[in-house]
Amino acid sequence: MGMKKLLIIGWVWPEPNSSAAGSRMLQLIEFFKLQNYDITFACTAQRTEHMADLTQSDINCADIKLNCSSFDIFIDELQPDVVMFDRFMMEEQFGWRVSETCPQALRILDTEDLFCLRNARHDAYKKNQLMTNADLLASDMAKREIAAIFRCDLTLMISPVEIALLKDLFNVDANLLHYLPFVFNDVQRQLNNPTYSQRQGFISIGNFRHPPNWDCVLWLKQQIWPLIRKQLPTAEMLICGAYPPPKATDLNDPKSGFLVKGWVDDAVGAMQSARVCLAPLRFGAGIKGKLAEAMLCGTPSVTTDIGIEGMETQLAWPGIVANDAQTIADAAVELYQQAESWQTASDLGSANAEELFEQVKHFEILSNRMDELLTNLEQHRQDNFIGAMLNHHHHKSTKYMSQWIEVKNKLLS
């Protein structure tokens, strides 16, 4: 029997040094490599200078087009056993083509985080309101995203909070969902981290193209950092992240110790050298790569209720949770100045990471789940009538719309 084939349809080419989503994709690729899959990564987006060199890992790379029957030829020749959609937009575009050409392929959706939840929280924040379940139920994006979840055989969820939301609010069957957080191997979870006295300064890190991260930087600059600096007049705040726009680099102010560095080649090294990680997030979803990295690096963090969502264990948080500027500032100063509090939080980081992100455990559970699905796929789909219904109607409408766009494009060219 030959190697099983996996096709990943990517929203973007993975950039592990730019975003947690990029790192997550490489973790998924590692899982499938360990399961002995022959992997093809296909994407409609332009390739970038920061994308991972997938060919070094023996991954086949393919450029594909939207609304083009060339994809049908491509997937018919490939005949994958499993197709994984990177976020629901890719399932919307290509799900009907996969279903039509390779009906027996197991269809997996990786959400990264729930787009509809993040967007609803962002909209509520802009209106200075708290998001409600009614906001989610009225969301067009929620209707699209939840429909994609029903249409797929399995959806990988990074946060247990979001799994509960899908089950309780949207009545998604638990059999369609699988919990898979970030995963790290033994080497990644057992770093030789610097001590309290070997570290200096604060750090905040995150891709600037991600709205929650940009809001975080603004809140730090405008309200939180001045309160910290008042108590620690020589401290420095390092702002790191990919794709900083001019409006971000314009915030750089060495005089006040607010340093906007932007891109860093070694995010782990930067996190290890900082004494405290600040992540005052006011909206967002999923779990936060920067806070997972802080745990691995033994760097205590100060974050919000949004920040810790989906990452709580029976242990205490490895730092301090606060939700207003003054309390965040006071917590940051406490961790920075008090070596004993810092050490307690640093030790909790390693303990929490061990419980949350242990790779072997999560990979084994997912492997067993996939084996079960591949063996009983027909029955699994029969049990998902809503998914079958949505596939029937969505595929018909999307197919004809896509064919119309393709003909229109040919006429225009």
Same-domain pairing of 178 and 225: no
When divided into structural domains, the chain yields a total of 2
Same-domain pairing of 380 and 323: no
Same-domain pairing of 24 and 113: yes
Helices (DSSP H) in 239-310: which residue ranges? Answer: 246-249, 267-273, 289-296, 305-308
Identify the pLDDT of residue 400: 64
Token pair belonging to 336: 């920075």
User: Which of these, 213, 214, 258, 193, lies nearest to 232 by C-alpha position?
Assistant: 258
Rounded to an integer, the average pLDDT of 125-129 is 95
Same-domain pairing of 21 and 163: yes
- What is the DSSP annotation of 193-235? ---GGG--SEEEE--TTSHHHHHHHHHIIIIIHHHHHHHSTT-
Same-domain pairing of 126 and 232: no
User: How far is C-alpha 309 from the chain's CA centre?
Assistant: 13
User: Which of these, 322, 340, 341, lies nearest to 330 by C-alpha position?
Assistant: 322
- Neighbouring C-beta atoms of residue 412, cutoff 10 Å: 6
Same-domain pairing of 309 and 388: no
Rounded to an integer, the average pLDDT of 155-181 is 97
- Residues 149-159: tens digit of each pLDDT: 999 999 999 99
User: Which of these, 235, 178, 221, lies nearest to 366 by C-alpha position?
Assistant: 178
- The residues near 117 (Cβ < 8 Å, ≥ 6 apart) are 136, 162, 165, 285
Same-domain pairing of 208 and 159: no
- The residues near 15 (Cβ < 8 Å, ≥ 6 apart) are 22, 48, 50, 51, 52, 242
Residues written for the chain? 413
Identify the pLDDT of residue 392: 81
Same-domain pairing of 293 and 350: yes
Q: What SS3 state is found at 278?
A: strand
Domain that residue 145 falls in? 4-183+359-412
pLDDT over 80 at 401, yes or no = no
Q: Tell me which of 357, 376, 401 is where a domain ends.
A: 357
- What is the DSSP annotation of 294-340? HHHTT--EEE-HHHHTT---SSPPSEEE--SHHHHHHHHHHHHH-HH
Identify the pLDDT of residue 301: 98
Rounded to an integer, the average pLDDT of 351-355 is 96
Q: How far apart are CA 294 and CA 283, in angstroms?
A: 19
- Residues 270-303: tens digit of each pLDDT: 999 999 999 999 999 999 999 999 999 999 999 9
Same-domain pairing of 322 and 345: yes
Pairing assessment for the beta strands 37-43 and 4-10 based on DSSP bridges? parallel
- Residues 56-112: tens digit of each pLDDT: 989 999 999 998 899 999 999 999 999 999 999 999 999 999 999 999 999 999 998
Q: What is the mean pLDDT of the chain?
A: 94
> pTM here?
0.93
Q: Tell me which of 310, 329, 357 is where a domain ends.
A: 357
Identify the pLDDT of residue 412: 78
Same-domain pairing of 257 and 300: yes
Identify the pLDDT of residue 1: 52
With residue 89 as reference, give the H or E element that holds it: helix 88-101
- Residues 191-244: tens digit of each pLDDT: 999 999 999 999 999 999 899 999 999 999 999 999 999 999 999 999 999 999
Same-domain pairing of 113 and 223: no
Strand order in the sheet with 37-43: 60-63, 37-43, 4-10, 82-86, 106-110, 154-157, 177-179
Higher pLDDT, 407 or 379: 379
Q: Tell me which amino acid residue 192 is.
A: N
Please report, for the domain that includes residue 262, its CATH number: 3.40.50.2000
Rounded to an integer, the average pLDDT of 305-311 is 97
Rounded to an integer, the average pLDDT of 115-140 is 95
Same-domain pairing of 12 and 71: yes
pLDDT over 80 at 394, yes or no = no
Identify the pLDDT of residue 395: 63
Q: How far apart are CA 156 and CA 149, in angstroms?
A: 10
Q: Tell me which of 310, 326, 357 is where a domain ends.
A: 357
